[in-house]
Amino acid sequence: MPLRLYDNGGRKFEIAGVGLLGCCPVFRLKNKTECVVEVNYWSVQYNKGLQSMLKEWQSENEGIIYSYFDTYSAMSSLIQSPASYGFTEVKGACCGLGELNARAPCLPVSNLCPNRQDHVFWDQFHPTEAASRIFVDKIFDGSSTYTSPINMRQLVAA
């Protein structure tokens, strides 16, 4: 897909890595409510490969500028310091069924949490709107902790 975009004139790209997949509610079910280390290991390996590929792609294609968002680090920050971001629930989903609201996907008959602003996860895998807004702020104006080699504001201005 990026090559097709490049061939059609695309030169600026925002690329996001994968987050702590092993900390999603559906995986926590398999590990007594804790993150699954092996799944997170593979998330890290994927992100390393993606970043390497992006650098190579940029060096081989004239004019490409990109911003990489480290979703893994951003999600880790939310999970490790939830109160800093206004969250009280980092393990369970806001919408779903069963333990951690993660035994079944979000359906019309699902349990809904009373305040989704408290939750990092909306369903078995996806962040809530509140978590997503934090990610968007980090993507657009984030420091090199979360974006590299530049953030989206710098990408748009380039």
- pLDDT, residue 4, reads 86
Q: Which CATH class is domain 12-152?
A: alpha beta
Angle at which helix 37-60 crosses helix 71-80, to 10 degrees, equals: 150
Those residues with Cβ within 8 angstroms of residue 86's Cβ, 6 or more apart along the chain or in another chain: 117, 118, 130
Tens place of pLDDT per residue across the chain (158 aa): 567 888 899 999 999 999 999 999 999 998 877 999 999 999 999 999 999 999 999 999 989 999 999 999 999 999 999 999 999 999 999 999 999 999 999 999 999 999 999 999 999 999 999 999 999 999 999 999 999 999 999 999 99
pTM of the model: 0.91
- pLDDT, residue 2, reads 64
Q: Could you tell me the residue ranges of all domains in the chain?
A: 12-152
